[in-house]
């Protein structure tokens, strides 16, 4: 996960631990919904999806399952890999595995299909911005890494640099997705090289201070 450097001018003083929990959960849920909506826009642009979504598309083509359901199944299967890597999921981890895929299946049918290139470019651009804002909200809530980020961090614990682990994972799923029939194009390149800088813009502005007891849930 990206390093979070908070904006110093944003006060954050919840009235109680329960209020802090409610705020974080709300931001996490909103962020994951935005993430799913952004993915839907990018896929509907038909200009090439992000590497993981190329893989999801390919599996959907192979199995006949919806893209959203594939995202959910892959996320849950990735959590099994956390066990040997000794990664501990949080509430946000479970929500990530479930909510993004559900949102994709809900949002994609609502996005008008178009052959107009200018509209498809707008879909792609808007999708990347929405994904970046959603990432800032859900990562910044501090409720746990997503299944894919946790896999990256777990491999880092085995001695791989985070950069190498992330690159290896992205290349692997991209190649697998292409072989399965996923869509690759200029959007894939745009997402690969553009999402990092976009998240870096929004994450510091949307992140909350770290929780004192990240795994605790107020009674």
Task: Please state, in angstroms and as integers, the Cα–Cα distance from residue 109 to each residue in 43, 44, 106, 112, 173, following that order.
Answer: 11, 9, 7, 8, 25
Q: Could you give the CA distance from residue 48 to residue 188 in angstroms, rounded to a whole number?
A: 5
- Non-local CB neighbours of 125 within 8 Å, separated by 6+ positions: none
Counting the structural domains of the chain, the total is 1
Whether 112 maps to a domain, the answer reads yes
d(CA 125, CA 190): 9
In a domain, 20, yes or no: no
Question: And the tokens for 99?
Answer: 């909510």
Question: Alpha-carbon Rg of the chain, whole angstroms?
Answer: 17
What's the domain range around 152?
Answer: 44-206
Residues 147-192: tens digit of each pLDDT:
988 887 777 778 777 677 778 888 999 999 999 999 899 999 999 8
Instruction: Answer yes or no: is 104 within a domain.
Output: yes
* CA–CA separation, 192 and 196 (whole Å): 8
The whole-angstrom separation of Cα 81 and Cα 165 is 14
**If pLDDT is split at 50, 70 and 90, which confidence band does 216 have?**
very low
Question: How far is Cα 123 from Cα 111, in angstroms, rounded to an integer?
Answer: 9
Query: Would you say residue 213 lies in a domain?
Result: no
37 occurs within a structural domain: no
Please check whether residue 39 lies inside any domain of the structure.
no
Rounded to two decimals, the pTM is: 0.86
pLDDT in tens, 189-214: 999 889 888 988 998 889 888 876 54
User: Does 4 fall in a domain?
Assistant: no
């Amino acid at each position: 996960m990206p390093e979070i450097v908070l904006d110093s001018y944003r006060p954050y003083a919840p009235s109680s631990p329960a209020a802090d929990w409610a705020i974080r959960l709300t931001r996490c849920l909103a962020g994951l919904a935005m993430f799913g909506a952004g993915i839907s826009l990018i896929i509907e642009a038909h200009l090439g999806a992000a590497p993981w979504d190329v893989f999801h598309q390919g599996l959907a083509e192979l199995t006949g399952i919806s893209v959203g359901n594939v995202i959910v199944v892959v996320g849950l299967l990735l959590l099994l890999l956390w066990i040997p890597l000794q990664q501990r999921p949080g509430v946000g981890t479970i929500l990530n595995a479930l909510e993004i895929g559900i949102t994709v299946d809900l949002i994609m049918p609502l996005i008008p299909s178009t052959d107009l290139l200018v509209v498809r470019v707008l879909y792609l651009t808007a999708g990347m911005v929405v994904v970046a804002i959603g990432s800032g909200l859900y990562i910044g809530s501090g409720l746990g890494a997503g299944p894919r980020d946790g896999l990256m961090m777990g491999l880092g614990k085995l001695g791989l640099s985070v950069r190498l682990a992330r690159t290896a994972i992205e290349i692997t799923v991209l190649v697998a997705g292409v072989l399965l029939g996923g869509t690759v194009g200029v959007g894939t390149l745009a997402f690969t090289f553009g999402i990092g800088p976009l998240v870096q813009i929004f994450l510091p502005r949307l992140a909350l201070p770290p929780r004192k007891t990240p795994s605790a849930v107020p009674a």
